[in-house]
Amino acid sequence: MFILYFFAFICVALFAKYAMAPAAPAATAAASGHDAHAHEGSHRGTYIAVAVSLTVLTVLEVMAVEFLKAKSHFAMVAVLIVMTLVKAFLVAAIFMHLRFERRTLVLIVCAPLMFATFLFLGLMPDSASLWLPA
């Protein structure tokens, strides 16, 4: 079960990676009469592939709670967090088109990640005080 599970996860990861490869058909579709948006083309196939990946990852997440709980808590939490970050990355990169934007814009919109890290680190001493010797 465990091995099957990770096999499924790797398949989805590969599928997502394949889906994200710049689509050659999009370029030809663009050339056939949509000159104004030649650089955009049609990403419809990519969109569907990402949707399938997101759905499968959601199912795998729910399964992880079912099947990995008794095995290893750490493995389950690690798997959940990795899959969630992959999903968030797919939405931001493909649905929100960050993969197709200029790097400057990507850097600007990633600024909140830095501030989020500061906020979490700033709250850490409060939380960690629980385990410090009195």
Q: How far apart are CA 101 and CA 109, in angstroms?
A: 11
Count Cβ neighbours within 10 Å for each residue of 75-92 and write b for 16 or more, e otherwise: ebeebbeebeebbeebee
Interface characters, 16-55, with other proteins (x: CB under 8 A): ------------------x-xx--x-xxx--xx-xx--xx
Q: Do residues 81 and 132 make contact, with C-beta atoms less than 8 angstroms apart?
A: no
Q: Is 133 in the site for other proteins (CB under 8 A)?
A: no
Question: Where are the alpha helices (H) located in 1-134, listed in sequence order?
Answer: 2-20, 24-31, 44-68, 73-90, 103-109, 111-128
Interface characters, 50-79, with other proteins (x: CB under 8 A): xx--xx--xx-xx-xx---x---x---x--
Chain contacts with other proteins (rule: CB under 8 A): 34, 36-37, 40, 42-44, 47-48, 50-51, 54-55, 58-59, 61-62, 64-65, 69, 73, 77, 80-81, 83-84, 87-88, 91-92, 95-97, 101-102, 104-105, 108-109, 111-112, 115-116, 119-120, 123, 126-127, 129-130
